[in-house]
């Protein structure tokens, strides 16, 4: 029993380990040990609850392990005897799929005693994943674990480039030319701008504020809107800019105010700490008009400050859409005046004194409602602050209200409203916004194990609910002085079986002569579009909104924006985005295999994140070929090669379909992002690679017919970009006031006898090591070449470091005692 357990008064300590993933196909065995570390017995009748992303199939004798709903499970002991101090309960169980990562482990344990007292037990101590049967998912899993030796091999093709060979501007501009001359800016440099560019001038003043003082030789800056013309810029939309840097004058000309803003971002990248920058000209325009990030604040709440930090990071790299996922099964995050229950209940998670006052704990958010990362919402002032902050940075905020699936928070909140008003005798008011059929006997289970998360789309009250929410959101945008252009209504992952047992849905289908719930679903999408149209707002949805209910083919109408996501290699859905674009839909590529930034970076048990569509390294985002994904095709999530005949059968874009690919979007789903630090770790540096691929012109890889030559070109481009990250962009992200908490990739390392060779994934990052067993820090020796260990050294420890002294995960290499 640790001193922490004694001091905190937590009565139960939990430990967990995966025993083996090879019980049977898609079945693993695990062990959970629970120890009474208190000084008193725990009376029989207790229940331990926890969250787990894997369905439990069986449990050892003496225990009952039940699925409550969603990812919440309960454990009881069948014996009617007290749980004695020091007594260890050894619970063995089997569950679905596999567990190869700490993310797969159960978390968020809490104890409910027989009298009703609830005690937060925190997360379990997770035992290391070390044996092959713990690291291999099944017999088809040939993907190696991302250990130090694997990283050493992956990094072996990289080389440190001299600074003059590393691009100074990210994303890469259309054309750039520098001279030997230098320009100097100071905090007192004159800025000339018209009233239409007051916001951009204020941004530039803030940028120059930290520069050294002094007027002597300082250049002035002119901001202007005008024609941006150059042979290299075929279509100069409002985001295009030209940056002319002379010794005495800098002119930032944009095709619109947004173009001026983009030019200032480039100016900021060129500016050294002493205020100097090279003279020359940059002419630039984006490849895609839509360059976005999706942030899920429903699974875990993110503060206004956290969202603003993401917006700042996006703005630096010229991303222009924030898709804000405000609602899901586990949370509703925007207060709606007419429907206070949505946040009064739907924004809270935990074990409330009144069970109806909060949603259950999910994703380890714990039983304490007020301390839960699953609790929180934006009031009007908060949301308006986000809108205005984004607008100043020329970022459009697209709010998402996910329906008809992924809607449990709203369903339960409106059911509570119904029950309250009905108990008061207001039957008509109770029915006004109801989202569920009280007689629904449908049997279904969502991908995240919810059994009651789908809206009953046959109810007229559903349309009234949507209209009320949209009207409130539109009013917030008006108050913010920001145009509301698009609302995203989700539409993904409606589980099979929904609506089939609903009397209200079945009655509407008979009335309309429909024979399949897919027709009911299509009607709902049409109604949503009509409601948004009445408010002058465009409709957007995940790919399922544009597909037939069986997902076999696109629906025969376009006219709205589709985010295509479900494209794991080997899934058979890799070409859905292209099929939709060819059918006439405007498509944003949100491909899971390249652009799901909630997925783990690598197959390392300590890397946070899911991996259902594979592991997404920064290079996967950089190497994505938007208009010919097959060129950048990867192995499937198990590491198996996708058969060439399968790739050959995939649909390619038609000329019209190519024009329908409007952009790219990275996804930051929130299941495994309880903190701001985790959000930023998952976001960057992948966000920077996304920006490069969405803005920079086509690198031409797809036009290289010879596979070896194409691979060499892609490898060379990645080497330069990896150097750009390590030498320039990550140090920029280290600087105040942003100081973004990006992920530092661990180094690769191998021992050959008693000599250790190490390397980094992003050349330019510092690598420090120790040989005395201590944890390396920024003051430890810096790796400059193979390290020859002395006779007393038993272990080599190393980590990569940023310019602030932050470190990556530590690599530990045991040294050969016989070397």
Note the Cα 493 to chain centre separation in Å. 18
CB environment 206-235: b (16+ within 10 A), e (fewer): ebbeebeeeeeebbebebebeebeeeebee
What pLDDT is recorded for position 357?
Answer: 87
Total-model pTM: 0.96
Q: What are phi and psi of 549, to 5 degrees?
A: -60, -30
- CA dist., res. 385 & res. 700, Å (int): 41
Question: Helix (H, G, I), strand (E, B), or coil: what is residue 244?
Answer: strand
Nearest to 696 by CA among 634, 623, 632, 629: 623
Nearest to 401 by CA among 534, 491, 520: 491
Q: What are phi and psi of 27, to 5 degrees?
A: -140, 130
Question: Residue 304 corresponds to which tokens in the numbers above?
Answer: 């206004």
Sheet holding 125-126, edge to edge: 56-59, 88-96, 27-36, 12-24, 125-126
Confidence of residue 633 (pLDDT cuts 50, 70, 90): confident
For tokens 């007229």, the residue is 460
Statement: residue 266 has pLDDT above 90: yes
What pLDDT is recorded for position 236?
Answer: 67
Confidence of residue 671 (pLDDT cuts 50, 70, 90): very high
Domains recognised in the chain with CATH numbers: 3-141 (2.60.40.290), 175-284 (3.30.379.10), 290-707 (3.20.20.80), 708-819 (2.60.40.10)
Statement: residue 1 has pLDDT above 50: no
- At 729-771, the pLDDT tens digits run 999 999 989 999 999 999 999 999 999 999 999 999 999 999 9
**Burial label, 353 (beta-carbon count in 10 A; 0-12, 13-18, 19+):** exposed
Share of the chain above pLDDT 70, in %: 97
- At 700-710, the pLDDT tens digits run 999 999 999 99
Please report, for residues 106, 123, 126, 745, 797, the alpha-carbon distance to residue 15 in angstroms, rounded to integers and kept in the order given: 10, 9, 6, 28, 27
For tokens 């920064």, the residue is 618
- CA dist., res. 665 & res. 395, Å (int): 13
Averaged pLDDT, 360-389: 97
- At 772-789, the pLDDT tens digits run 999 999 999 999 999 999
- CA dist., res. 782 & res. 779, Å (int): 8
- CA dist., res. 402 & res. 491, Å (int): 6
Question: Residue 758 corresponds to which tokens in the numbers above?
Answer: 């190490």
Q: Taking a C-beta distance cutoff of 8 angstroms, is the pair 525, 545 a contact?
A: yes
Averaged pLDDT, 672-679: 97
- CA dist., res. 614 & res. 617, Å (int): 10
H or E element in which residue 252 lies: strand 249-254
In degrees, to the nearest 5, what angle opens at C-alpha 583 toward C-alphas 578 and 588? Answer: 45
Confidence of residue 233 (pLDDT cuts 50, 70, 90): low
Question: Residue 33 corresponds to which tokens in the numbers above?
Answer: 């040990």
- At 137-158, the pLDDT tens digits run 999 999 999 999 999 999 999 9
Q: Taking a C-beta distance cutoff of 8 angstroms, is the pair 370, 301 a contact?
A: no
Averaged pLDDT, 102-127: 96
What pLDDT is recorded for position 7?
Answer: 40
Statement: residue 67 has pLDDT above 80: yes
- CA dist., res. 460 & res. 448, Å (int): 28
Averaged pLDDT, 214-234: 81
Residue count (the chain): 819
DSSP code, position 210: T
DSSP code, position 703: G
Q: What are phi and psi of 779, to 5 degrees?
A: -95, -5
For tokens 């020796």, the residue is 781
Averaged pLDDT, 588-599: 98
- pLDDT averaged over every residue in the chain: 95
What pLDDT is recorded for position 178?
Answer: 96
The partner residues of 93 in beta bridges, in order of sequence, read: 30, 59
Parallel, antiparallel, or unpaired for β 661-668 and 290-296?
Answer: parallel
Statement: residue 392 has pLDDT above 80: yes
Question: Residue 120 corresponds to which tokens in the numbers above?
Answer: 């937060």
Confidence of residue 610 (pLDDT cuts 50, 70, 90): very high
Nearest to 750 by CA among 132, 145, 144, 153: 153
What pLDDT is recorded for position 5?
Answer: 37
Please report, for residues 174, 362, 384, 704, 730, the alpha-carbon distance to residue 478 in angstroms, rounded to integers and kept in the order given: 36, 35, 9, 49, 37
Sheet holding 787-788, edge to edge: 748-752, 755-759, 787-788
Instruction: Please list, in sequence order, all residues whose beta carbon lies within 8 angstroms of the beta carbon of residue 190, skipping any fewer than 6 positions away.
Output: 220, 221
- At 404-418, the pLDDT tens digits run 999 999 999 999 999
């Amino acid at each position: 029993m640790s001193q922490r357990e004694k001091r905190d008064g937590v009565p139960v300590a939990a430990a967990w380990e995966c025993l083996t993933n090879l019980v049977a196909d898609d079945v693993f065995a695990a062990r959970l040990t629970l120890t009474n570390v208190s000084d008193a017995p725990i009376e029989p009748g207790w229940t331990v609850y926890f969250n787990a992303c894997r369905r439990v199939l069986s449990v050892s004798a003496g225990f009952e392990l039940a699925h409550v709903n969603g990812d919440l499970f309960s454990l009881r002991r069948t014996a009617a005897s007290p749980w004695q101090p020091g007594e260890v309960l050894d619970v063995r169980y089997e569950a679905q799929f596999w567990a190869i990562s700490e993310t797969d482990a159960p978390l968020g344990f809490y104890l409910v005693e027989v009298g009703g007292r609830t005690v937060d037990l925190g997360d379990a101590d997770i035992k290391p994943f070390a044996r092959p049967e713990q690291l291999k998912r099944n017999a088809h899993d040939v993907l190696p674990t991302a250990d130090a030796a694997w990283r050493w091999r992956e990094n072996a093709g990289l080389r440190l480039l001299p600074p003059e060979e590393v691009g100074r501007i990210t994303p890469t501009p259309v054309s750039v030319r520098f001279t030997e001359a230098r320009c100097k800016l100071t905090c007192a440099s004159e800025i000339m701008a018209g009233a239409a560019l007051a916001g951009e001038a204020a941004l530039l003043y803030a940028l120059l504020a930290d520069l050294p003082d002094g007027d002597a030789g300082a250049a002035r800056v002119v901001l202007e809107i005008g024609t941006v013309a150059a042979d290299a810029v075929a279509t100069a939309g409002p985001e295009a800019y030209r940056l002319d840097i002379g010794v005495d004058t800098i002119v930032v000309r944009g095709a619109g105010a947004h173009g001026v803003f983009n030019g200032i971002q480039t100016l900021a990248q060129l500016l050294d700490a002493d205020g100097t920058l090279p003279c020359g000209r940059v002419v630039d325009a984006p490849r895609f008009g839509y360059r976005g990030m999706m942030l899920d604040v429903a699974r875990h709440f993110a503060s206004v400050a956290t969202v603003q930090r993401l917006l700042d990071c996006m703005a630096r790299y010229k991303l222009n859409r924030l898709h804000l996922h405000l609602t899901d099964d586990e949370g509703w995050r925007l207060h709606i005046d007419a429907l206070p229950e949505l946040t009064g209940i739907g924004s809270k998670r935990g074990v409330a004194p009144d069970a109806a006052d909060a949603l259950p704990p999910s994703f380890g958010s714990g039983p304490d409602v007020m301390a839960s990362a699953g609790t929180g919402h934006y009031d009007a002032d908060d949301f308006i602050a986000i809108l205005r902050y984004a607008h100043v940075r020329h970022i459009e905020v697209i709010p998402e209200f996910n329906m008809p699936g992924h809607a449990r928070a709203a369903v339960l909140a409106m059911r509570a409203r119904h029950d309250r008003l009905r108990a008061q005798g207001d039957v008509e008011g109770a029915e006004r916004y109801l989202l569920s059929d009280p007689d629904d006997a449908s049997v279904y289970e969502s991908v995240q194990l919810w059994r009651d998360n789908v809206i009953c789309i046959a109810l007229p009250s559903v349309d009234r609910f949507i209209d009320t929410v949209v009207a409130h959101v539109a009013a917030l945008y008006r108050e913010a002085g920001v145009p509301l252009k698009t609302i995203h209504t989700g539409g993904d992952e409606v589980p099979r079986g929904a609506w089939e047992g609903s009397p209200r849905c079945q009655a509407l289908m008979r009335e309309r002569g429909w024979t399949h719930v897919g027709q009911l679903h299509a009607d709902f999408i049409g109604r949503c579009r009509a409601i948004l149209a009445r408010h002058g707002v465009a409709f957007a949805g995940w790919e399922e909104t544009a597909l037939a209910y069986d997902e076999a083919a696109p629906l025969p109408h376009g006219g709205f924006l589709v985010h295509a996501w479900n494209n794991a290699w080997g899934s058979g859905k890799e070409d859905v985005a292209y099929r939709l674009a060819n059918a006439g839909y405007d498509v944003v590529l949100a491909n899971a295999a390249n652009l799901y930034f909630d997925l783990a970076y690598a197959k390392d048990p300590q890397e946070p994140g899911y991996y259902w569509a594979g592991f997404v390294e920064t290079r996967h985002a950089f190497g994505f070929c938007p208009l010919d994904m097959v060129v950048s095709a990867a192995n499937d999530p198990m590491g198996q090669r996708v058969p060439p005949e399968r790739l050959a059968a995939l649909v390619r874009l038609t000329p019209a379909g190519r024009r329908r690919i409007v952009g790219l979007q990275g996804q930051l789903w929130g299941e495994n992002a309880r903190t701001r630090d985790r959000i930023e770790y998952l976001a960057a540096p992948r966000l920077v690679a996304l920006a490069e691929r969405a803005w920079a012109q086509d690198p031409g890889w797809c036009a290289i017919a010879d596979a070896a030559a194409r691979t060499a070109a892609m490898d060379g481009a990645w080497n330069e970009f990896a150097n750009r990250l390590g030498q320039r962009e990550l140090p920029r992200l280290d600087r105040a006031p942003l100081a973004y908490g990006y992920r530092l990739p661990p180094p690769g390392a191998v021992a050959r006898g008693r000599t250790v060779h190490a390397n980094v994934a992003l050349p330019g990052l510092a690598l420090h090591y120790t040989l005395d067993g201590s944890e390396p820090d920024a003051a430890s020796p810096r790796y400059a070449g193979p390290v020859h260990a002395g006779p007393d050294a038993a272990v080599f420890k190393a980590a990569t470091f940023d310019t602030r002294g932050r470190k990556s995960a530590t690599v530990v290499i045991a040294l050969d005692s016989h070397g």
